[in-house]
Every structure is written in C-alpha cells, then in structure tokens.
C-alpha cells in the first residue's frame, strides 16, 4: 500500500523513471513479512534471558517493534557493562 492507502500495482513497479514511493512501500511490506515470519516476541525474550535480566512486569515487549527495541537496548547495556572501552574512557576523561 502506498502512503495514501492505494495498492501498489505491477505497472507502478515497472514504470520508468522509478516510482520511489511504490518501491519503498513494496520493500517495507517484504521486510515486515520476513520479520513476522522469522521473529517472535517469545524468541526475543528467550534471547535476552541468555545474557541479561529484566522485569517481566515492566519491560516485556507487547509487539514485534517493541521486541526489537527491547533487544537492541539490552544488547547496548550488555556491551557497555562488559566492554573495556567503556570502562577506560570515563577514567581517562577525568584525568584531564
């Protein structure tokens, strides 16, 4: 679907010059279909449990987009806690 809720047609995708809005709508739909097929909230939560703790009553994701943001945030926190880079920089900056 285009942003104005009109369906994307084959002629929209084959015209020249390229009709960018139609191509972007198609790419977005394909990426969403792949995401729905490959990712579930349960898989994301199971993955996060392997390397982090969280409050299920406060942080449990409610949809796929929220699950991906939840995973990204937990990975970022994990990297920051376990990285020598993040442990050295604040000490180095305080010595100036």
Q: Are 71 and 31 in the same domain? A: no
Number of domains in the chain: 2
Statement to judge: residues 79 and 53 lie in one domain? yes
pTM of the predicted protein model: 0.58
DSSP state of 20: H
Is 77 in the same domain as 45? yes
- Pick from 65, 64, 67: which is nearest to 54 by CA? 67
Assess whether 15 and 56 both reside in one domain: no
Tell me: the pLDDT tens digits for 12-45?
788 788 888 888 888 888 988 888 888 899 999 9
- What's the token pair of residue 88? 């050295």
CA–CA dist 39, 44 (Å, integer): 7
Pair 43, 90 in one domain: yes
For residue 62, the enclosing domain spans: 39-96
Q: Are residues 27 and 67 in the same domain?
A: no
């Amino acid at each position: 679907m285009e942003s104005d809720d009109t369906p994307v047609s084959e002629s929209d995708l084959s015209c020249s010059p390229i009709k960018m809005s139609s191509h972007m709508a198609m790419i977005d739909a394909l990426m969403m279909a792949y995401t729905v097929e490959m990712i579930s909230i349960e898989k994301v939560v199971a993955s996060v449990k392997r390397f982090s703790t969280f409050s299920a009553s406060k942080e449990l994701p409610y949809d796929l987009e929220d699950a991906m943001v939840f995973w990204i945030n937990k990975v970022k926190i994990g990297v920051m806690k376990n990285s020598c880079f993040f442990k050295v920089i604040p000490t180095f900056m305080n010595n100036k």
